[in-house]
Amino acid sequence: MNSTLLILGDQLLDRHPGLSINDIERVLIVEVVISSYDRLYHRKRLALLMSAMRHYSKRLKDAGFEVDYRQAHRLDTGIQDHITEFSVDRLFVMDPDSYWVKDMLDTWSQTMDVEISVMSNTKMLRTREEFANSLSDLENARQENFYRRMRSLSGILMKGNNSPEGGKWNFDFSNRKPLPKNGLTITEPLKFEPDEITVQVLQEIDIHDHAFGSLEGFDLAVDSHQAELAVDDFVENRLSLFGRYEDAMTTSSDLVFHSGLSAYMNLGLIDPLTLCKTVEEAYVSGKVPIESAEGFIRQVIGWREYMHFKYSRLMPSLESVNSWNHVKPLPKFWWTGQTDMTCVKSVVDKVIKTGYSHHIERLMILTNFAFVAELDPREVNEWFNSVYIDAYDWVVTPNVMGMGLNADGGTIATKPYFSSANYINRMSDYCSSCRYDPKKRTGKEACPFNFLFWRKVEKERERLSHNFRSRMMVRQLDRMDESEQYEIFQNANAWLERIK
Ligand SMILES: Cc1cc2nc3c(=O)[nH]c(=O)nc-3n(C[C@H](O)[C@H](O)[C@H](O)COP(=O)(O)OP(=O)(O)OC[C@H]3O[C@@H](n4cnc5c(N)ncnc54)[C@H](O)[C@@H]3O)c2cc1C
Ligand code: SF4
């Protein structure tokens, strides 16, 4: 048989399972040319993806593999052209994360004259054989139960089979501190000088108009060796305070104490299990406290794997859910950052510059705003898919439609994450330089997060009363006097009319 191993652009694993198959003739990697993208991707995302793919291809060639690195206008036509040119009759591929690529392969296996052999996805933990079988009874599990099982199965931060290290599964209560008012030294992440391959990629992207964000100062890791150095840098310099300040937001640091490793993990440059073991070791050797090690590991084997699982079960309908019937178009300032709300401006400006913002900025600033302003979930999802360097459909869609907007009606997270300015003021330094007053609910200085929040609580009082975690909001609203309530709604409606 004439066999090709197809390696997708987000499957750049050092230990890709296909590379140890004896009877493959060659490897195929398809780079979709930038001018063919309909979506407006962040320039740094495009640069990272293209440079990482080209570095990976070079490494395979250096290791003696025959590689067909092919540029094409679409992934499917690139694969089809390769099959025709090399008369391929068997195509090996690792199970894709994307529903749409999976769908394409399923269709091909019925319609094309080529045998398609799909290998299990070793990029994620839950799809590896030893995990997959032991998770089969968790179809409807909530994230916390899913996470506990992943801890038990991986043995990470466990004493024996069922006893969590530190006596508790979850140290979330220690992860909610704002940064101290008198400041804190935060070490900047390691930067990587672009080499010849990356410089070439940057030049190609630079002359291309149809993209978003800035390419300036591109300094990301582009291969697994550099990504490992980025892991070491995180563990050495930021992990110990990751737990305590996980939810803190500030204008003075892009990453705060976060890892900035998601984009590398999503490309396959970092193995999530190896990463979690490195973090566990840092805890065991006394370098970092339990709330940091557990908090980080929960994000990776808890949330990340859970989102991958939910995506695999809820697509394709997850893309079009809209359980709160929100229809307002995305305002222009989501693309430009031109708004007088300091929190939103800060986060969007950072995204334009870097293609990154940390979890709480995505959740408690952006999707919080989108929820209270009733923005159309499909437009919000499209925006998140476009502007982040770590954006891939399988991770964006459950986070936006499920966790962020609750547009799925609570299948992924039990309640919508939304708040007034109170939370933002407590957890960040945004409000001190804002033209709005986070303590005011009415009047010209009133913070939009306040009047939009209370308008939403009033509008959805029936639904929110059913959930014991959001019932408190309705009770608080009922304690406000009627004239204030009236003014809040007037303010909110007028403000919503104005934003375009
Ligand atoms: C609305 C919204 C959109 C998001 N879009 C993306 C996205 O496009 N790509 C992406 O990888 N993550 C996304 N996330 C999840 C999370 O915000 C990012 O993974 C994280 O901010 C990346 O920064 P970091 O590497 O510094 O993370 P850290 O705070 O250092 O966390 C460690 C790792 O945990 C994983 N992680 C943490 N939370 C989640 C989560 N909810 N879902 C999946 N993985 C998680 C990431 O791999 C991350 O690298 C989104 C979350 C929300 C609420
Ligand atoms: S006052 Fe309101 S709009 Fe301004 S930064 Fe604070 S929360 Fe954001």
Where in the chain are the domains? 3-119, 129-186+238-311, 333-498
Any ligand 2 atom below 6 A from CB of 438: yes
For the ranges 3-7, 178-182, 355-359, 400-404, the lowest mean pLDDT is seen at: 178-182
What is the residue-averaged pLDDT of the chain? Answer: 95
Instruction: Give the pLDDT score at 294.
Output: 96
pLDDT of residue 430 exceeding 80, the answer is yes
Ligand 2 neighbourhood includes 147 CB (under 6 angstroms): no
pLDDT recorded at residue 470: 85
Ligand nearest to the CA of 426: 2
- Closest atom of ligand 2 to 421 CA is 7
Distance from the CA of 360 to the center of ligand 1, in angstroms?
9
Is pLDDT of 173 > 80? no
pLDDT of 112 > 90? The answer is: no
Quote the pLDDT of residue 109: 86
Mean pLDDT of 311-330: 97
Ligand 1 pocket test, pick from 44, 379, 395, 397 with the greatest ligand atom count within 8 Å of Cβ, gives 395
Beta carbon of 157 within 6 Å of any ligand 2 atom: no
**Contact yes or no for 250/429 (Cβ under 8 A):** yes
CATH code, residues 3-119: 3.40.50.620
| DSSP conformation class of 268 | T
Dihedral of alpha carbons 305, 309, 312, 318, sign = negative
Assess whether pLDDT exceeds 90 at residue 1.
no
**Contact call for residues 132 and 43 (beta carbons, < 8 A):** no
Confidence of residue 459 (pLDDT cuts 50, 70, 90): very high
- 469 Cα–ligand 2 center, Å: 24
* CB of 342 closer than 6 angstroms to any ligand 2 atom: yes
CA distance 9 to 75: 10
**What topology does CATH give the domain 129-186+238-311?**
1.25.40
Q: How many angstroms does the Cα of residue 235 sit away from the middle of ligand 2?
A: 32
**pLDDT on residue 235:** 98
Say yes or no: CB of residue 447 within 6 Å of ligand 2.
yes
The atom number, within ligand 2, closest to the CA of 346 reads 5
Euclidean distance between the first and the last CA atom of the chain, given in angstroms as a whole number: 58
Cα distance between residue 254 and residue 191, in whole Å: 13
Q: What is the mean pLDDT of residues 238-247?
A: 96
pLDDT at 36 over 90: no
Pick the CATH number of 333-498 from 3.50.50.60, 1.10.579.10, 1.20.58.760, 1.10.600.10: 1.10.579.10
Given a cut of 90, whether residue 344 has pLDDT beyond it is yes
- Cα 414 to ligand 2 centroid, rounded to whole Å: 26
User: Rounded CA gap, 120 and 97, in Å?
Assistant: 11
User: Which pair of tokens denotes residue 147?
Assistant: 């996470």
Using an 8 Å Cβ cutoff, are 93 and 8 in contact? yes
- 161 confidence band (pLDDT: 50, 70, 90): confident
Residue 139 confidence (pLDDT): 87
